[in-house]
Amino acid sequence: KNEVEQSPQNLTAQEGEFITINCSYSVGISALHWLQQHPGGGIVSLFMLSSGKKKHGRLIATINIQEKHSSLHITASHPRDSAVYICAAGNQFYFGTGTSLTVIP
């Protein structure tokens, strides 16, 4: 069993749609991270959260510590949001397998 499970693995959306990516983890954490990886490899840290909810522009991340579950939401999706989104949890950064998002104009 993986320490971090992400769903869905692949997601295709029309521009403007509301998107949700889910992450469940089994390890103890001090914080959970959402990462974005564009083609070419570079990774950007989107959120680090240990409770509640955070919002950056059209991106919202929530976490429920008791249920060991986090979600990443993208409102009004745009083609430039097309990337792989990865959640990372645990003291040594256990990673989810990533969600490949494609937003079609």
Partner 1 sequence: KAGVTQTPRYLIKTRGQQVTLSCSPISGHRSVSWYQQTPGQGLQFLFEYFSETQRNKGNFPGRFSGRQFSNSRSEMNVSTLELGDSALYLCASSLVGGGRGKMGRTEAFFGQGTRLTVV
Q: For binding to partner 1 (CB under 8 A), which residues are involved?
A: 29-33, 35, 40-45, 48, 50, 86, 88-98
Closer residue to partner 1 (CB): 77 or 87: 87
User: What is the smallest separation between the CB atom of 14 and partner 1, expressed in angstroms?
Assistant: 28
User: What is the smallest separation between the CB atom of 88 and partner 1, expressed in angstroms?
Assistant: 8
Cα separation of 30 and 105, whole Å? 38
User: What is the smallest separation between the CB atom of 87 and partner 1, expressed in angstroms?
Assistant: 11
Q: Nearest-CA neighbor of 51 among 36, 35, 70?
A: 70
Q: Nearest-CA neighbor of 24 among 65, 55, 54, 78?
A: 65
